[in-house]
Chain A
Amino acid sequence: MDYIVIKGCKLMQKVLSVFHMGSSYPGKVALKCNKSILKSLSDKYKVILVTGTNGKTTTASILAKILRDSGYPVIHNATGANMLPGITTLFIAHESDKEKKYAVIEIDEANVPLYTSIAKAEYIVCTNIFKDQLDRYGEIYTTLRKIKDGIKKLPNIKMVLNGDEPLFGDIEGKKVYFGFNQNPHSYREEKSNVEGQFCVKCRAKYDYEFYTYNHLGKYKCPKCGYKRPQLKYYVSNINIKDDDHVNFKINDTIFIEANIGGLYNVYNILAAAAVAMEIGVKPEILKKSIKSYKARFGRTESFMYDNKEIKIILVKNPAGFNQGLMIPTYNKEDKCGCFILNDDYADGRDISWIWDVDFENTFTDYNNIFVSGSRRYDMAVRLNVAGYNLHCDDICDTIDMLVEKIKKCDNCKYVYIFSTYTAMLSLRKVLAEQNIIEHSW
């Protein structure tokens, strides 16, 4: 019976994929027929789950690349379909592959316990937990509980955890931690508006030797002594060269050069490297593989358009947006900033979170600023309170109008586009219609 279901769904997946559709639907049908299909499909793989609020996509795709470059066959849900149906679809698509080794699975936090109650995994990587679309996900402690529940179901799973994340310090089981040593970008003083700074054990406020960003850092509870665990993999000598080049050392010995920007991506690289080293990947391969990694799908991907370099930065929550806003500050050239805010379900219906973004302290000298998206006026009000001086002319009712504005920006070499998820899809569609980028599916 399962055999027929799998073959049927596989056929469906093949047909749908011709039309660039169906990254989730076949899996949904298969799971409806029999949930344990996921177990039998995934059994032949060493499954590596990658979860957490921010950095899942980038961490998983760097890890998949490292493992491929190491010569292993790897399957990976690169389209971002990270719930059970999407994950099941991935396994269905590769059901008849001859060689099966690693499955690098980006997984939505709430889906972790759903997955581990059906199927096994060898590793789980947890990046961080930030406030994120509270209209959908609820509180950070709810998210934490779901991840912990998922881990409990697989007592032998090996955990690779962000040690700078205070929420992960007391997860029980086999685990290694990665994190940051003090660096020129870390800071001591608390920034206003940081969640999760109160002890998970006794509710007292942590003391930080330093923060890396948001509530990540070297924390210690003054009341009960709960503190950042020993790091097995740590980063030092960070050098952010510009907005898409960074180099640093892992464990003081392995020199890493990467062509992606931002401090948060150093975490993503470190997380992927930690898993790879646990598996036994050699430092030479690691270095080479990371150096040739290119950003994708709104994760600071860039392309040329009309003699301007356009960079798209997907924004979903305050912690990620704050990190994204740092990127143009490393670039001293003439630039323009675009902010596109939608409030569809996938973006989060509540746009209040833009007020938790620290535009004030990342003020950037843009030559031009434009806003668009269904909640463009909210975005404009937010930016004006932060000291930007937007006028009605800078507000684009449609994405096409925004693209026209960008075209006319003769004084800018760089264009940074900060966009929520559905707005990014509309933007990509407009750009693809003008043959500026390729259709992505």
Chain B
Amino acid sequence: MNINIYYMYYDLLNVYGDRGNVLILKNVLNQCGINCDIKYITINDYFDYKNCDILFMGGGQDYEQITVGEDIIKNKLSNMQKYIEDGGAGLYICGSYQLLGKKYVAADGRKINGAGILDIYTEKGDKRYIGDIVIQSEFFNSKLVGFENHSGRTYINNYSPLGKVIYGNGNNGNDGSEGLIYKNTICTYLHGCCLSKNPEITSFLISSAVLKKYNVQFDVSIEAPLLMKAKNYIIDRYSKQSVESK
């Protein structure tokens, strides 16, 4: 088997360590005996969605996000839309999550048009949400952890959230939701990098990709004691804190 990961805007949305997700996906695929190619694509490049098995996009700075927003609309929109609607597996973090929505208002008040593939929008908030975050995910039946760093407040209408916030702020700090999950698309504010502490999402992306491409149910079991310790360190840190504060 061979899985192609498309790392889109690797040179623009690349400031929060999110590239680690691509490294981890490749690592786990190889451990499962699956060959993996990473395709780096950026502005002006064609998105060959038929050849893509996992699409990944990370978070960026406002300066670069404007460039990306323009390029998506000009060069990638219809293929990304087909990919997502057709159940293509994808992970979109922070800035790219915002850009899948209809609009995004940057920290300085500039309005950036998003792809509008998802019926969601992001407003500008006064205070930047910076810190560890722990959520409870119904979909994965587990806790997910990460680090959030965003001033945007994202409202996801009727989509299912990725999880409910236990500690931290999540999508907007109001409705208790974090991220969203739609078909095989996962959007989230979790940096960390995300997959370094959430193997549930890694398994989901890989098994979705394999099922779609090869029509095989593939159970990804990740033996990762160190990774679970890294995850539980954050969960314990905040469960202790919330017990103390009570």
Contact = CB atoms under 8 A, between A and B. Distances in A.
Interface of A: 131, 134-135, 139-141, 190, 192-195, 197-198, 203, 205, 349-356, 360, 374-375, 377-378, 380-382, 384-386, 390, 392, 395
25 contacts: A134-B15, A134-B16, A135-B131, A139-B15, A193-B10, A193-B14, A195-B61, A205-B42, A350-B16, A350-B17, A350-B191, A352-B18, A352-B20, A352-B147, A352-B191, A354-B20, A355-B19, A356-B17, A360-B23, A375-B230, A378-B197, A378-B233, A382-B196, A392-B225, A392-B226
A381 B63 contact: no
Interface of B: 10-12, 14-20, 23-24, 27, 40, 42-43, 61-64, 66-67, 130-132, 147, 149, 191-193, 196-197, 224-227, 229-230, 233
Contact of A192 (B27, B40, B62, B227): B40
B223 to A, nearest CB: 12
Contacts of B132: 349
A350 B225 CA distance: 22
Contacts of B15: 131, 134, 139, 195, 356
B217 to A, nearest CB: 26
Q: Which of A190, A353, A375, A378 has the most CB of B within 10 A?
A: A378
Contacts of A355: 17-20, 23, 193, 196
Nearest to A139: B61
Contact of A194 (B11, B43, B63, B224): B11
A57 B40 CA distance: 36
Nearest to A141: B63
Contact of B20 (A134, A190, A385): A385
A139 B107 CA distance: 11
A205 B11 contact: yes
Given A193-B14, A352-B17, A356-B14, A375 B149 contact: no
A221 B137 CA distance: 46
A198 B18 CA distance: 19
* Candidate in A131, A380, A385 with the most chain B CB atoms within 10 angstroms: A385
Contact of A349 (B17, B23, B131): B131
Residue from A203, A352, A354, A384 with most neighbouring chain B CB atoms (10 Å): A352
Nearest to B70: A203
A374 B11 CA distance: 31
A190 B11 contact: yes
7 smallest beta-carbon distances between A and B, as pairs:
A355-B20, A352-B17, A355-B17, A377-B230, A139-B61, A377-B229, A352-B191
A395 B225 CA distance: 12
Given A193-B19, A350-B147, A352-B16, A381 B11 contact: no
B61 A384 contact: no
A377 B233 contact: yes
B191 to A, nearest CB: 4
Contacts of A382: 20, 196
Contact of B11 (A197, A378, A384): A197
A318 B87 CA distance: 35
A197 B149 CA distance: 22
A381 B230 contact: yes
A380 B226 contact: yes
B226 A139 contact: no
B140 to A, nearest CB: 19
A195 B14 contact: yes
Contacts of B10: 192-193
